[in-house]
Amino acid sequence: MARSSILSIESADTVTTGEIPATMKAAVYRGVNDVRLETVAVPEIGAGEILVRVHTCGICGTDLKKIASGSHSAPRIFGHETSGSVAKVGDSVTTFKPGDRVVVFHHIPCGKCYYCRHKTFAQCEVYKKVGCTAGFEASGGGFAEYVRVMDWIVARGTVRIPEGVSFEQASFVEPVNTCIKGIDTLHLERGETVLVIGQGPIGLILAFLAQRAGTQVITTDLYSPRLTMANSFGLKTTVDASKADAAKVVREMTEGRGADAVILAVGGNSLIQSAIDAARPGGRVLLFAQTVHSEATFDPASVCVDEKTLIGSYSASVDVQQKSVEFVMNREMDLERLISHRFLLENGVEALHLAAHPQPGSMKIVIQPGVREGSTL
């Protein structure tokens, strides 16, 4: 059958839209703090798989930590907050067709193992196996023009983007899922006081969700522009950490007790004790951004004698997948407003550098392989 600029059947087992090149550009991780723009092969897909042309991929803090620490072997292509359009479908794929606008998760659990039965999905061995790749060891692949989505992700982790919802808004589905999971883990009660330390894009989403749950939220950050952004989302009680002690402010607001729950949305371990200090006796502290194994110092009596609870929450949960999709697609929060910088793939290395060295005016940074100067996908 002759090719069409809109739709062509290449073989009995694949359907494509438009012309798919043999090679593409990608931001390739080559070692510690070494990411290079390279030309690589467009990944081949198999039965049950799809090929997605990437429009927008958000830069996640875990990507940056992997790049900076060298925790993963090279070469790899990172990026997992991916939205785009289906370019090709493999044999037996019936739920999607070329041209469909989608967002993809990169982790989906088996649903059967010990950890899945106990709702600890991120510990499932299948969950740990990344199901999206742009080549090399599967690592998400969103920092490239095309991504191969494997069959179990197609079946359970690929979401169609409704008409009227932008690729940028949709790219937040996975990070919003992680935030909803974290908030659910805290079991917040209406009327409680919650302190959120860090108002980067993830901290702001966490604060918004906590306030949505009926709590009194106090946000704090070193950068006043981020607190201004929080104000614009209805988070009116803020503490500039460069000028005031957030724990002291919280105690003044709670008759000396401290916050019922504290969310630490800042990477590194230096603020763990500060978060514990800001919680009331019997309160909860959620460690959300401590995603690198290391050692930390804190007062164990604050857990034993003061009965404060340390809680961890990592990655996404299939149990809240639909909830996160509805939150994003229904625009319950205008997430596009969190994007402060948009970079073409050609400038992806610069984007990663800025994300690793945030500035007062930087929030969410995205790489957009599907955007060209003066146009969109």
pLDDT at 4: 28
Query: Is residue 58's pLDDT more than 60?
Result: yes
Q: Token pair for residue 350?
A: 């610069």
Q: How many other C-beta atoms lie within 10 A of the C-beta of residue 218? A: 25
pLDDT tens-place string over residues 73-107: 999 999 999 999 999 999 999 999 999 999 999 99
Report whether 106 contacts 156 (CB < 8 A).
Answer: no
pLDDT tens-place string over residues 152-176: 999 999 999 999 999 999 999 999 9
Report whether 298 contacts 160 (CB < 8 A).
Answer: no
127 closest CA partner among 148, 111, 151, 150: 111
96 closest CA partner among 137, 155, 168, 163: 155
pLDDT at 64: 97
d(Cα 62, Cα 315) in Å, to the nearest integer? Answer: 10
Query: Is residue 357's pLDDT more than 60?
Result: yes
Query: Is residue 374's pLDDT more than 70?
Result: no
Mean pLDDT (whole number) for 319-344: 98
Helices (H), ranges, 1-156 = 61-69, 114-117, 125-128, 151-156
Domains of the chain from N-terminus onward: 8-165+331-368 (3.90.180.10), 177-312 (3.40.50.720)
d(Cα 22, Cα 126) in Å, to the nearest integer? Answer: 30
Report whether 215 contacts 188 (CB < 8 A).
Answer: yes
Confidence of residue 5 (pLDDT cuts 50, 70, 90): very low
pLDDT at 15: 53
Query: Is residue 9's pLDDT more than 60?
Result: no
d(Cα 246, Cα 197) in Å, to the nearest integer? Answer: 9
- 305 CB burial (10 A radius; 0-12, 13-18, 19+): exposed
Give the SS3 label for residue 312.
strand
Report whether 281 contacts 306 (CB < 8 A).
Answer: yes
pLDDT at 292: 86
| Residue for token pair 């289906």 | 86
The helix (run of H) or strand (run of E) holding residue 343 is: strand 339-344
d(Cα 270, Cα 35) in Å, to the nearest integer? Answer: 28
Confidence of residue 291 (pLDDT cuts 50, 70, 90): confident
Q: Is the pTM of this model over 0.85?
A: yes
